[in-house]
Amino acid sequence: MKRTEELLKAVEFVFGKQLMKKLSSENTNFPVLDGLMKLNKSDRIEEIPIRPEVVHCNSPLYKIATWLNKYYREVTGFRTKHTIKNSKDLVDKIKNTQANEGYKLKTMDIENSFTNIPTEDLTELIKIDLIDSDLTDDEVAVTFALSKLCMKQIFF
């Protein structure tokens, strides 16, 4: 928490008091570990697997992480290329695609992907993107420090 407070002071210095107040949180709690039943995996209740889900909505860094996600995309122009939002989006993206005879469409679930992301490599990529943007050195430093802080918040 002390590191968060220090960084919020830096946010105030670099970005202004209004943003600092927006990112400050009161009455926060630890994230909640929830379980979602994967009903499509089995007909027998005792065999249904449960997928863990961590709910961060009231965690200490939730507001900061949400702001960072939007801000990073704005200043770097980052856009994901290979994301499917829902079934309609998938249909729209492949409706004019011609597949050779015998080809099959396969989809895959990504399991536990966040825990397998090498955060050191990711932070370096974020830093490079921020440096290459039009941000000042102070804005890069504060944004990068906030990013590192959010990536270190792993409760489970």
pTM of the model: 0.70
Residue 33: phi, psi to the nearest 5?
Answer: -90, 120
User: Could you report the per-residue pLDDT of 19-75, keeping only the tens digit for each?
Assistant: 999 999 887 888 888 888 888 777 888 888 887 888 878 888 899 999 999 999 999
Q: How confident is the model at residue 127 (pLDDT cuts 50, 70, 90)?
A: very high
What is the pLDDT, as a whole number, of residue 119? 82
Domain limits, the chain? 2-30+57-79+116-152
User: Which residues lie closer than 8 Å to 63 by C-beta, 6 or more apart?
Assistant: 22, 23, 24, 25
Q: Distance between the two ends of the chain, CA-based, in angstroms?
A: 18
Predicted local distance difference test score (pLDDT) of residue 15 = 94
The set of residues, in sequence order, having a beta carbon less than 8 Å from that of 9 and lying 6+ positions away, is 20
Look at residue 113 and tell me whether its pLDDT is greater than 60: no
